[in-house]
């Protein structure tokens, strides 16, 4: 059970404006009661941290020589109740930070907070730093300036040096400090000087393989091609023997040293809060560095604030939270739920960005789908996941987890039924109005962009498009049997459990030989087949270029069109169309297809 002796004195003291003071006292008492409901169940480190915050009561009551109460508030002696009220309000403001620290109360695991830039991670860190100043907590801000100053002149006496270093840390981590930047810049100098002092101390005591050597060895292990050595201070040596001052290290090399000294050479803390632990560090190194530091502080809890999904994935067995909302005053976060559909690395990457998410069928970001959708939907985060089923499952999973932003999926029409495609829209899964992405790139609007650029006369443009139209019509008509067979096979797959191959089928007989099912007679299969023969005939009768592309399965369509255009031997339709879509000429077409594909909420 937590109690505060100074608070008990205030409760029983005689003060002016008693009603207003009593209201504040009641607020404090209620908070104490809330803390005590679970206090004994909390970890010892959390209890110690909360006590350190609550013990720093801003009011101390003493009696003067005449027995009258004098209240000392922030070192100001006063009898004014207004000052008492102000001080009590300052104390109450700390309660918010204790509430925010609740995620540490019953867990002994390290913690990672994820969220996009601007979600308030750093501001939260500053608030916690201010309110936990008396606790065994150390903060590493994202705004680190790792410079080595030639003019740095620390106190010679060790006790005075440590006192100055602690004062510098307090000011460097205080956003309200007028000269905060100067103190941030001094931090690295203090750390280097501390390492040099500790090294001298170990040498005098003939300590071999002490903590300073451990730091030097680990730095050399991570950096590989150079080493640190002590000679009139700390210096650097390459593998070839060339030496140079510490100030010429890269930002990443300095960061490694900064963290090694800052955690391992100072007194062990209960909690370490590190903002952007991956800053300036090679991805191959950052995980090794923090693994080493955590192993050497096994009794401490590390709380990382990051938007780097690779780093989060490297923190095995850590608890992951995402910052759901920050309104400029208050934060709200929740633990990142597990999902069978969404891999953790992808999940973290998605909650770490502010843009709406768009899942597409590309195998990777260099494929047609991803490239085209980055042009059509530049404000979206495009995620390539490969395959229609994967797009549908991930979009639904994202929605069900109630994650930030909104997620959409875009799939090809393929051989899907229109009713099925429309039904998916309730889950924000939409489709391009073509059989596949290659057909989209060859649609009439896109083709005419290319034709208009390279052919100046209306007659040449008309003739060129007609030539392409004739080729597409020819391909569609010549694949009549294959068209009806594939559509039949897909309907059998979706409705009657056909599990055979489809792409290799050329005619109805091929399908009948592969499909053996008691529930379907040959007559029933033929009935489905004939339905698609009629559809093919209707499309041919309509003789509409984009409608052909809606149903045409022809992976080589782009090559066919390149051969008809015959512009020059180095001509690439893919390069040409993507360049044109990014130009002013493509703006109207982009707007047309954006509205056609996604019906945004």
Residue 404 confidence (pLDDT) above 80: no
Helix (H) or strand (E) run with residue 273 in it: strand 271-275
Average pLDDT for 486-513: 83
> DSSP label at 338?
P
Helix (H) or strand (E) run with residue 480 in it: helix 480-496
Give tens-digit pLDDT for 307-330: 888 888 888 888 988 887 777 778
In this prediction, residue 400 carries a pLDDT of: 85
* Residue ranges per structural domain of the chain: 5-104, 111-335, 352-433, 438-597
Tokens of 2: 């937590």
CATH architecture of 111-335: 3-Layer(aba) Sandwich (3.40)
Confidence grade of residue 551 (pLDDT, cut at 50, 70, 90):
very high
Q: What are phi and psi of 220, to 5 degrees?
A: -65, -35
Residue 77 confidence (pLDDT) above 50: no
In this prediction, residue 59 carries a pLDDT of: 65
Residue 162 confidence (pLDDT) above 80: yes
Q: Residue 302 CB: number of other CB atoms within 10 A?
A: 21
Q: What is the mean pLDDT of the chain?
A: 88
In this prediction, residue 48 carries a pLDDT of: 92
DSSP string, 210-252: -HHHHHHHHHHHHH-SEEEEESSSEEEEETTS-EEEGGGS-HH
Tokens of 14: 């005689």
Confidence grade of residue 62 (pLDDT, cut at 50, 70, 90):
low
Q: Are 409 and 384 in contact (CB under 8 A)?
A: no
Mean pLDDT lowest among 296-305, 353-362, 423-432: 353-362
Helix (H) or strand (E) run with residue 59 in it: strand 59-63
- How far lies 251's CA from each of 144, 194, 539, in Å? 10, 20, 63
Residue 15 confidence (pLDDT) above 60: no
Tokens of 327: 């309104």
């Amino acid at each position: 059970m937590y109690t505060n002796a100074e608070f008990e004195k205030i409760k029983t003291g005689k003060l002016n404006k008693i009603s207003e003071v009593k209201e504040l006292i009641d607020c404090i008492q209620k908070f104490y009661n809330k803390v005590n409901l679970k206090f004994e169940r909390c970890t010892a480190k959390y209890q110690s941290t909360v006590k350190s915050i609550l013990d720093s009561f801003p009011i101390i009551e003493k009696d003067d020589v005449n027995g009258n109460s004098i209240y000392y508030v922030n070192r100001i002696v006063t009898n004014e109740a207004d000052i008492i009220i102000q001080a009590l309000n300052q104390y109450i403001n700390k309660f918010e930070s204790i509430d925010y620290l609740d995620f540490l109360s019953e867990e002994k695991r390290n913690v990672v907070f994820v969220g996009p830039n601007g979600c308030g991670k750093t501001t939260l860190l500053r608030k916690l730093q201010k309110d936990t100043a008396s606790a065994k907590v150390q903060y590493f801000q994202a705004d680190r300036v790792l410079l080595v100053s030639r003019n740095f002149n620390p106190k010679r006496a060790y006790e005075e040096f440590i006192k100055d270093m602690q004062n510098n840390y307090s000011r460097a981590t205080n956003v309200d400090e007028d000269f905060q930047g100067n103190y941030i810049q001094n931090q690295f100098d203090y750390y280097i000087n501390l390492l040099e002092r500790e090294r001298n101390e170990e040498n005098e005591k003939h300590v071999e393989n002490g903590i300073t050597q451990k730091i030097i060895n680990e730095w050399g292990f991570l950096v590989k091609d150079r080493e640190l050595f002590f000679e009139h201070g700390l210096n650097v040596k390459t593998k070839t023997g060339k030496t140079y001052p510490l100030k010429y290290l890269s930002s990443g090399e300095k960061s490694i040293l900064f963290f090694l000294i800052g955690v391992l050479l100072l007194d062990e803390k209960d909690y370490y809060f590190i903002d952007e632990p991956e800053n300036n560090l090679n991805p191959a190194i950052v995980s090794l560095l923090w693994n080493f530091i955590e192993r050497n502080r096994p009794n401490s809890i590390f709380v990382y604030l990051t938007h780097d999904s690779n780093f989060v994935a490297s923190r095995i067995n850590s608890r992951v939270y995402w910052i759901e909302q920050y309104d400029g005053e208050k934060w709200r976060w929740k633990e990142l739920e597990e999902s069978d559909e969404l891999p953790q690395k992808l999940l973290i990457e998605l909650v770490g960005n502010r843009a709406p998410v768009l899942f597409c069928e590309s195998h990777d970001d260099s494929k047609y789908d991803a490239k085209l959708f980055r042009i059509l939907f530049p404000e979206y985060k495009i995620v390539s996941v490969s395959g229609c089923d994967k797009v549908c499952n991930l979009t639904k999973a994202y929605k069900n987890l109630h994650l930030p932003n909104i997620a959409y999926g875009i799939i090809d029409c393929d051989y899907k039924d229109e009713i099925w495609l429309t039904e998916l829209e309730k889950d924000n899964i939409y489709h391009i109005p073509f059989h596949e992405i290659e057909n989209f790139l060859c649609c009439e609007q896109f083709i005419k962009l290319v034709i208009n650029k390279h052919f100046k006369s209306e007659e040449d443009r008309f003739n060129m498009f007609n030539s392409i139209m004739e080729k597409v019509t020819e391909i569609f008509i010549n694949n009549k049997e294959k068209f009806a067979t594939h559509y039949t096979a897909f309907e059998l797959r979706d409705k009657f459990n056909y599990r055979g191959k489809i792409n290799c089928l050329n005619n109805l007989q091929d399908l009948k030989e592969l499909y053996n099912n008691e529930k379907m007679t040959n007559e029933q299969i033929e009935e489905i087949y004939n339905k698609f023969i009629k559809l093919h005939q209707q499309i041919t009768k309509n003789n509409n270029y984009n409608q052909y592309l809606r149903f045409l399965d022809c992976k080589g369509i782009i090559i066919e069109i390149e051969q008809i255009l015959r512009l020059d031997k180095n001509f690439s339709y893919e390069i040409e169309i993507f360049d044109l879509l990014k130009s002013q000429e493509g703006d109207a077409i982009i707007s047309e297809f954006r509205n056609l594909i996604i019906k945004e909420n």
